[in-house]
A and B are shown apart, each in its own frame.
Chain A
């Protein structure tokens, strides 16, 4: 069939233009902004002053940014291990032929349907509250003293646990889709050969889920770097070192915060570029370590 070049161009041009305008231009502009001293994010380019890597040097020297990066790393590592492990565990259990599978799947996914604001409020007010929170009430029932779950030492972990609770269902669904792709014959053959469930999991399920694990790690990394709302909910008026994350730091740099009117869009752009680089690095490292094309089924 003869290719109609005009038709191809006609169909692809709108999306190419949209991609350039909506994606490539903002990315390039942000990259450029990160090398300039800029007060207003929408300010005219005539107001920009070139400062080389000055913005990067400033954000790396900032105690707030360092705290934010450290928090993000903890969310990525600890939260990632918790979330992906629990998600995989639930996925395996749900795919093992248990009864009420649909109910449990829906129940575990439910927090993803609820607004994150409502979810965070529920955790702060009804679970962690000192006086009438569920956790302290449970401790009281067994005769133990209540804990200040939202004290400065505990707040990060309280926030992370609440976030993990809401995130597990999403990754579980992705794992389920991966597990359901694995042919049942493999498990039947393994059962006949005498392999128990753990052996089946480690020798069949895990190796065949490499591609899905890679996808989930990438999604988790993106989710971690864009972590914003939970931090805002756990420190609603003033950012705190225990809960600040890079995107909140970026937001404060660009728009200022309560009682703070200085704005630095250049520093904000530098943070944005750094976050994008982190995601790229994670993506390439994960691709390098986890190969998903070794096995075919």
Chain B
């Protein structure tokens, strides 16, 4: 009996303490203002705090494709902390690294507690689309179009049927070059293949090696050149069904590359083993260009310790080609799961991370293109925002050459051999490709 009484008393004391504790702030708030102005300020601050803490008690589970020690991971963590302080939503980040590609599908299929996840935007829009939240309305309400590149939103929407993701780390492909070498040789950025060849000759005349090439990117180079003759759809059609020997564009594209190689415009040792050739841009200072996506600039600088004065221009057009001026563009993006119970909070966090302050921080820290075009690209990404803004129909990786998994490896080898100078004519290359079918 005594114990029950003691328990009851203790409970009453605890409740009373709680009430006093909770009520204290209000009482202080009511008593503290000495003037009307101070009272008004206090009220405004309180209202802001109430509005900002709209996600108090919410926990968002975020599967990241980075590791916490990477620059990207550090910015994401900082953004998560700031988001929690501002809105009350705790972002629980699981650092999955690049393995996310193997893990995420099974996790989504099992309905694992994930609110957001990162991956390649094409994979999100094509492979995981069934498990992605339709962000179209939320994006419209948040004016997302004003703080993102239209090309990614349009393409992802076309693939998925709705907006499935928020662009986080855009990439653009083209020719990345050392601006100092161009300036020293007095050459302008070329726009056509003829101009490009002339620039290469001038570079050689001045003792420079025009183009670095690692075998890992041989198909990217060749894909670009084929696309300029045939469009991406044309390249895709050829790789799927063959008929290379009947395609004048394909034969001419291969002949251009043979002429390019025979003219000695590849860097010494190219095509080399990744990343040996691209590193020569930084290591020797004698190699002027590389055809790749924008991350090559940061890779070369980090690998070699050089601070190259990078510039970028779109892959040249060709005479009698398709007039295509599109560029490769891809992105790591953030998707909200279709079964998330806090989809709006998840979307708000995705936007918080990919626009404004934290997007700028991501661009600066990780040396990449900002996802928000209103932000500024770091110096080594010079020209990339313009290239992305000008790209209406972004090209896919390898411009259609990936569209036949059965001949992917074998065709890759043939393309590498083309850059190694194994074929005398474009027709020989076409015949080798046709032999795969």
**Residues on A facing B (Cβ under 8 Å):** 40-44, 61-64, 67-68, 124-125, 128-131, 148, 150-152, 234-242, 244, 249, 252-253, 255-264
* Those 5 A-B pairs whose CB atoms lie nearest each other, nearest first: A259-B397, A237-B216, A42-B106, A130-B269, A241-B413
When A42-B105, A150-B273, A261-B122 are in contact, do A63 and B127 touch as well, CB less than 8 Å? no
1/0 per residue, CB under 8 A from A, across B424-437: the answer is 00000000000010
- A41 adjacent to B276 (CB under 8 Å): no
- A61 adjacent to B412 (CB under 8 Å): no
Q: Give every chain B residue within 8 A of A252 (Cβ-Cβ).
A: 405, 408
1/0 per residue, CB under 8 A from A, across B196-217: the answer is 0000000000000000000111
Most buried by A among B122, B215, B219, B268: B215
- A263 adjacent to B409 (CB under 8 Å): no
When A242-B413, A256-B123, A262-B405 are in contact, do A150 and B272 touch as well, CB less than 8 Å? yes
Q: Could you tell me the distance between the alpha carbons of A23 and B130 in the complex, rounded to whole angstroms?
A: 31
- A240 adjacent to B215 (CB under 8 Å): yes
- B101 adjacent to A238 (CB under 8 Å): no
- A241 adjacent to B101 (CB under 8 Å): no
Q: Give every chain A residue within 8 A of B416 (Cβ-Cβ).
A: 152, 240
With both chains docked as a complex, state the minimum distance between the C-beta of A30 and any C-beta of chain B, in angstroms.
Answer: 15
In the complex, which range does the number of interface residues on chain B fall in? 35 or more
Q: Give every chain A residue within 8 A of B126 (Cβ-Cβ).
A: 261
Nearest neighbor of B125 in chain A, beta-carbon distance: A261
Most buried by A among B269, B409, B417: B409
Nearest neighbor of A64 in chain B, beta-carbon distance: B409
Q: Give every chain B residue within 8 A of A263 (Cβ-Cβ).
A: 127
- A129 adjacent to B109 (CB under 8 Å): no
- A67 adjacent to B409 (CB under 8 Å): yes
- A129 adjacent to B127 (CB under 8 Å): no
Q: Could you tell me the distance between the alpha carbons of A63 and B101 in the complex, rounded to whole angstroms?
A: 25
Answer whether residue B138 sits at the interface, using C-beta atoms and an 8 A cutoff.
no
Answer whether residue B402 sits at the interface, using C-beta atoms and an 8 A cutoff.
yes
- B215 adjacent to A64 (CB under 8 Å): no
9 A-B pairs within 8 Å (CB atoms) are namely A63-B410, A124-B273, A129-B276, A131-B269, A148-B269, A236-B216, A240-B413, A259-B397, A264-B405
With both chains docked as a complex, state the minimum distance between the C-beta of A257 and any C-beta of chain B, in angstroms.
Answer: 8
Q: Could you tell me the distance between the alpha carbons of A42 and B109 in the complex, rounded to whole angstroms?
A: 7
1/0 per residue, CB under 8 A from A, across B398-424: the answer is 100010011111101100110010100
Q: Could you tell me the distance between the alpha carbons of A241 and B126 in the complex, rounded to whole angstroms?
A: 27
Q: Give every chain B residue within 8 A of A62 (Cβ-Cβ).
A: 405-406
With both chains docked as a complex, state the minimum distance between the C-beta of A140 and any C-beta of chain B, in angstroms.
Answer: 14
When A42-B110, A256-B123 are in contact, do A239 and B409 touch as well, CB less than 8 Å? yes
With both chains docked as a complex, state the minimum distance between the C-beta of A214 and any C-beta of chain B, in angstroms.
Answer: 34
- B410 adjacent to A64 (CB under 8 Å): yes
Q: Give every chain A residue within 8 A of B110 (Cβ-Cβ).
A: 42
When A148-B269, A238-B219, A261-B126 are in contact, do A255 and B405 touch as well, CB less than 8 Å? no
- B216 adjacent to A238 (CB under 8 Å): yes
